[in-house]
Structure 1
Amino acid sequence: MDDPKYQIGEPPNPISSDDEIIISSDTLRSERIPPGQSRTRKWPVLQAGSIPQVEKSEWSLEVKGLVDQPMIWNWKQFQELPRVKVFSDFHCVTQWSRLGNIWEGVSTKTIAELVGIQPEAKFVIAEGYDRGWTTNLPVDRFLAEDALLCDLHDGEPLTADHGAPVRLIVPLLYAWKSAKWLKSLEFVAEDQPGYWEQGGYHNEGDPWREQRFASDDIPPGFGI
């Protein structure tokens, strides 16, 4: 094919032989590359500032806000939680897409069950170890079937470049919503736009609606 997005081979298909893996719904589309995106096999490294070096022995995750039982997990405790695998594509707002990733970690639904989300909680604020960087998500996006707190990618531990020890992965949104170097999750009643959202990025970040910037509002259903 002449189309450059197919010159590096057909995209990896969902892994039907593994009954334990969660298949992200976007990987079932006939066209898996959203409008305005180009496919890459590489995994580019992008961040707002310097890359924090967080040792596993010093890492912890705090879950707080409108929950019944606020909790803090250290690395050992996090590793003891139930694990999941997710097969998904990954779309960056800078217009590249990496198809067919396997993420491993703890489902966001597991975290929600352990802390007990209160009815008033409508949004989640994810904070990274990189100088208080945050991003915001509606609770229903955070609790998507394919969303997880990830520490392995394609069978290998995450590197610091890509958010180690743990990053959030929300496959159905642009990658900046998948907060790297995850430090805390806070459930809140009112939305609180994060670092990039305050800087002009779209508050929702749906790649199929090309919601890159605050001005980019395309009617729901576009491209589906």
Structure 2
Amino acid sequence: MAERRDRAADGTPVARRTMLGMLGLGAAGLAAAPWLQRGWENVLGAASQVDPTGITGVLPNPGGFRYYSVVGSVPRKDATNYRLRVNGLVDHPGTYTLDELRALPQTRIVRDVQCTDGWRVADTPFTGVRLSDLLDAAGVRQDGTAVHFTCFDGVYTESLTLEQARRSDVMVALTMQDKPISHEHGGPVRLYVAPMYFYKSAKWLSGITVTDRVVPGYWEEYGYAVDGWLDGADTHGDAAAA
């Protein structure tokens, strides 16, 4: 993919806070104001649901994470109504409920989480189902070379090559920091791509579609790297889970 103007000179994706500012800084103050009397983590989690730009993520947060949403609000899902669809160039398309995902073999990965804004949360455990297991169950066809992800916010998308998707450190995550993934963090189910920047780990995951080519995701359309490898990531091999 060709370089875009909104990439840093060294090829690193431009910070998300800068991009969000470009997309609509003015709305952030009005959106966040009603929440400013609450504790910081509650502030950011709640304000992110009414902030159409996600600029609330630039505010300090003692928990280390920042909250982002590219839409004004996201519907809440739980075990009663969550569904994950697997389709595309597969022999056995299907749909998983939250309970069905929980019943599958689980893998635990402990890595640092890093955002393009520069913040990092060290030694963050995620537990879930390896994406490769879901792809194997679906039976990827010979012409399938990539995976496209959609989210129930109705807007966000991501993609990986099939080789990347089959890594042992890429999962459909059900817990983060040994707790069920909260709505603000993309729960009940999110993608977790351990060796890449956190924008590749799509929140509110609802669809996994095998495709014949990589379709750039939401942030890649704004100039982010399609392959968002972290410095030092094993980009050619694989990495064992914790």
| TM-score, scaled relative to structure 1 | 0.72
2:4 paired residue number: none
2:230 paired residue number: 207
After TM superposition, which residue ranges in structure 1, 4 or more long, deviate above 4 angstroms? none
Q: CA RMSD in A?
A: 2.0
Picking from 206, 209, 226, the partner of 1:186 is: 209
Could you tell me which amino acid in structure 2 is paired with residue 141 of structure 1?
Q
Could you tell me which amino acid in structure 1 is paired with residue 162 of structure 2?
V
The answer to which structure has the higher helix fraction is 2
Following superposition, the deviation at residue 118 of structure 1 comes to: 1.6
Could you tell me which amino acid in structure 2 is paired with residue 83 of structure 1?
Q
1:110 alignment partner, SS class:
helix
Following superposition, the deviation at residue 41 of structure 1 comes to: 5.7
| Alignment partner of 1:117 is 2:140 | yes
Picking from 47, 55, 78, the partner of 2:69 is: 47
* Distance of 1:83 and 1:124 partners within structure 2: 21
Do the aligned partners of 1:86 and 1:104 also contact (CA within 8 Å) in 2?
yes
Could you tell me which amino acid in structure 2 is paired with residue 200 of structure 1?
G
1:90 paired residue number: 113
* Distance of 2:215 and 2:229 partners within structure 1: 18
2:129 alignment partner, SS class:
strand
Could you tell me which amino acid in structure 1 is paired with residue 93 of structure 2?
P
* Distance of 1:164 and 1:101 partners within structure 2: 16
1:57 alignment partner, SS class:
coil
1:81 paired residue number: 104
Give ranges in structure 1 of 5+ residues lacking alignment: 1-39, 210-219
2:41 paired residue number: none
2:186 paired residue number: 163
Cα deviations across residues 16-44 of structure 1 (Å, max 9, x unaligned)? Answer: xxxxxxxxxxxxxxxxxxxxxxxx86122
2:149 alignment partner, SS class:
strand
Cα deviations across residues 70-118 of structure 1 (Å, max 9, x unaligned)? Answer: 0101122222111111111211112111110111111112111211112
Do the aligned partners of 2:151 and 2:202 also contact (CA within 8 Å) in 1?
yes
1:64 paired residue number: 87
1:160 alignment partner, SS class:
coil
* Number of equivalences: 173
Do the aligned partners of 1:51 and 1:161 also contact (CA within 8 Å) in 2?
no
* Distance of 2:229 and 2:104 partners within structure 1: 29
Picking from 122, 129, 133, the partner of 1:99 is: 122
Out of 131-140 and 120-129, give the one that drifted further: 131-140
Following superposition, the deviation at residue 132 of structure 1 comes to: 3.3
Do the aligned partners of 1:136 and 1:193 also contact (CA within 8 Å) in 2?
yes
Do the aligned partners of 2:191 and 2:201 also contact (CA within 8 Å) in 1?
yes
1:43 alignment partner, SS class:
coil
Could you tell me which amino acid in structure 2 is paired with residue 110 of structure 1?
D
| TM-score, scaled relative to structure 2 | 0.67
Following superposition, the deviation at residue 129 of structure 1 comes to: 0.7
1:175 paired residue number: 198
Do the aligned partners of 1:51 and 1:160 also contact (CA within 8 Å) in 2?
no
Give ranges in structure 2 of 5+ residues lacking alignment: 1-61, 237-242
